[in-house]
Each structure stands twice: as structure tokens, then as C-alpha cells.
Amino acid sequence: MRDTSRYTVVADGGLIDINSVDPSKRYARGPYSCLSCGHLMVPALGRTRKHHFKHKAGRPQNCSDETYLHQLGKFVLFSALSDAIENGKPFPLNRRQSIICNRHQSDLGVICRSQTKGLAEDLAKQFDTIETEKGIAGFVADLLLTSSETGDSLLLEIEVTHQSEQRKIASGLSIVEIGIKDEGDVENLRNGIDTTSANVTCHNLSILDAVPQRCTDPCDMACVLFLLYDSGKAWYSHTSSRQVAELTSDPRLLEWKLVNAQTSGVARGRQAFLDSFKAFIVEQRFQHNHKVRSCMLCQHNGGQTTANDIYCKSLGRSVWMSSSAISCQSYFPATDAVEAMHLLDQNLRPSHSYKGWHTEAHEPSDTL
């Protein structure tokens, strides 16, 4: 094991960085002791190697990097938060807050909830006490923040190799778990905690209310258009709000429906997408009495063979399912909504091989 520590404990119990040690007064704040094992440490301030602290009598076997980093993380975070609480300094817990934008509500009928903005919660204002290795609800927190005013608490856990146990997470206690892999990770804790960082995991934090914030510039909100053309073709297009006007200006378009990919369930899985699309087809045909000629509604439908093809039992081969029925002489559609939905449910099922359900679905104009 390497015996090269950047930090060690000084005589008064504080922490010292080797980079702050004056070679001419190298023992001014000594004696120094190891954060992990407590043994005596000495500063190594040579001219060739990077300056560091090392054990005076050699590093003992029970001294581990894991314990060193764990103790260092707690020490630095406790010092920074204590100073912030006592002296009224801000100590941010950076989180992401959802934004609700209604810019396209009037023209497209959708509200966007896909964006977020940064929010810095000041832990020094929310809590007035911080303790180390403090028990709460049958568990022990590395650092425990509490508020005498609200009774709220927050557990800060330093994770080097062992994450919080599932029982502690399931308790409902608010926990912020901070992963520490090296001394550089610890330095970042002096200025706050960023919950969006890859090394930070949150459990049971209060959900931030979404805030209304109208976009100042036209956004490029992801959405899906369900399309019905005067030829009877029913299909869809994964697109964006900027392209909706162009797509819906086609004079051959009979009906269309815009679906917000973030709020409709479309983004949550192929089944949710298919359910929305099937409902659109059935609604157009049997509620609005529009002409719909689609292999998906045909009783010769033998099920999907690829993302865009369907097996026709009448022709005995695969056909393009969105437009082949337009001029098909064998077209035999469902006669009511119940029968139509049964055909759709039976023959259109999500599969990992049907990636076309979640890709751009434009087709050549001659298929319309």
C-alpha cells in the first residue's frame, strides 16, 4: 500500500493539507496523526517526489485507503457545513426542478414538461444542527443534519466502497449518498453538493414542485403526430414542435393528432405508444366515420413480420402495413370498433425487434 496522504489530523483535531505546510515550520501544528489508523504521521517535503504525509514508523496493515477516504469525506463535509451554519454562509444542495411550459398550448394543444432548471437549496438555512455518527430511527448517519424549527432531518452518507443498506433506504429517511473515489472528490465537497453528479445518489428527498416558465424562444419539443390522409392511410411520425406546421399543412391530410412524447406515455414504452396509436385509428374510423384503409384493420392481417411489414393471409406474403390496403382488392376491414380493437390487440404487439415503432416514420409521398 502506498503511504502518501495529502491530508492528516493536527494536534488541535483539525485537518491540514500537505500543500499548506511551510517546510521551515513543518511541525508547527503537530504532532500529526493518520485519519485512518491514528498513528503518527510526518510530512515528506522532498525535492523530487510530490509532497505528502507518511507514517513515521511505516504504514500498519490495519490502515486502509477506504477508511482514510471515508473519514476525510466526513471531516471536510462536517467542517464546511458547520462553518456555513454558524456563520450564515450558503451551502448549496444543487438539484433539478421540472419546468412546465405552455408556449404550445394554444396552437398545438400540448404542455411541455420535458425541461428542468437548476435549483440550489441552502442546507445552512434549512438545518441548524449537524452531528457525526448520529443515531436516528435505529440507524447511524455519517452526518446528520436536523432542524430545531421544522423537525426535518437529512442523512449525508459518504460511500467509498459500500452503499447505504437497503433497509436504511426503505425506512423513508431522506438520504444523500456521496461517492468518494479519491482526494479530489473530497475537495469538491467544500463548496456544496451537486445531486446531478454521477457520484451522488439521493433517496427519499422531497419532490420539488414543477414551476411554470414560458420558453422565450420556440422550443424543439419532442412529439408524435398521428396522421390520417384522405386516401385512408393512417400512420404516424416522431417529430418535433418546430416541424408540426409543415407536416400538418399537407392538403391530403384529413385528420391529425399531436401527442406530447413526454406526457402521453409514448416515451415510456412501445406498448404505451401502440395503445395510443390504435385508439386513434379506431376513433377516426368508428367515432368520426372517416375512411380508413389500413392493413392493421383488415381481417386478413396475419401479424407483423418486421417493424413496417405485416403478413397478409390473403396474398400469402408480407406487405407494407401502412399503405398497402389503399388499393388492395382483397381489403376486408373490421365492421365495428370492438372487432377492430381485437384485431389490433391480437396482431400489433411491441417487440424489441420492431424498432420502427420508435423511429421516424415518414414515407414516400406516392404511398399516400
Span 288-346, pLDDT tens digits: 999 999 999 999 999 888 878 899 999 999 999 889 999 999 999 999 999 999 999 88
Give me the number of domains the chain comprises: 3
H-run or E-run covering 224: strand 222-229
Looking at the structure, tell me whether residues 337 and 233 fall in a common domain: yes
**180 and 256 both lie in a single domain:** no
Residue ranges making up the domain that contains 337? 222-367
- Residue 259 shares a structural domain with residue 307: yes
- 314, part of any domain: yes
**How far is it, in rounded angstroms, from Cα 236 to Cα 273?**
10
Predicted local confidence at residue 266, as pLDDT: 45
* H/E stretch holding 246: helix 244-248
Domain identity same for 195 and 159: yes
Q: For the full predicted model, state whether its pTM sits above 0.85.
A: no
In a domain? residue 1: no
Query: Do residues 89 and 143 both lie within one domain?
Result: yes
Q: Report pLDDT for 359.
A: 40
DSSP-derived secondary structure letter, 287: I
What pLDDT is attached to residue 264? 45
Asked whether residue 76 falls in the same domain as residue 145, the answer is yes
Task: Tell which of 211, 242, 276 closes a domain.
Answer: 211
What per-residue confidence (pLDDT) applies to 353? 38
Shared domain check, 363 and 254:
yes
Residues 187, 167 within the same domain: yes
Q: Where are the alpha helices (DSSP H) in the chain?
A: 65-87, 105-108, 123-126, 166-170, 183-187, 244-248, 270-282, 337-347
pLDDT of residue 103: 73
Report yes or no on 178 lying in a domain. yes
Inside any domain, residue 2: no
How many residues does the structure list for the chain? 368
Same domain? 178 vs 100: yes
Among 169, 186, 211, where does a domain finish? 211
Q: Domain check: are 84 and 158 in the same one?
A: yes
Q: What pLDDT shows up at residue 217?
A: 65
Q: Verify that 230 and 171 share a domain, yes or no.
A: no
**Ranges of the chain with pLDDT below 70:** 1, 107-109, 216-219, 260-269, 349-368
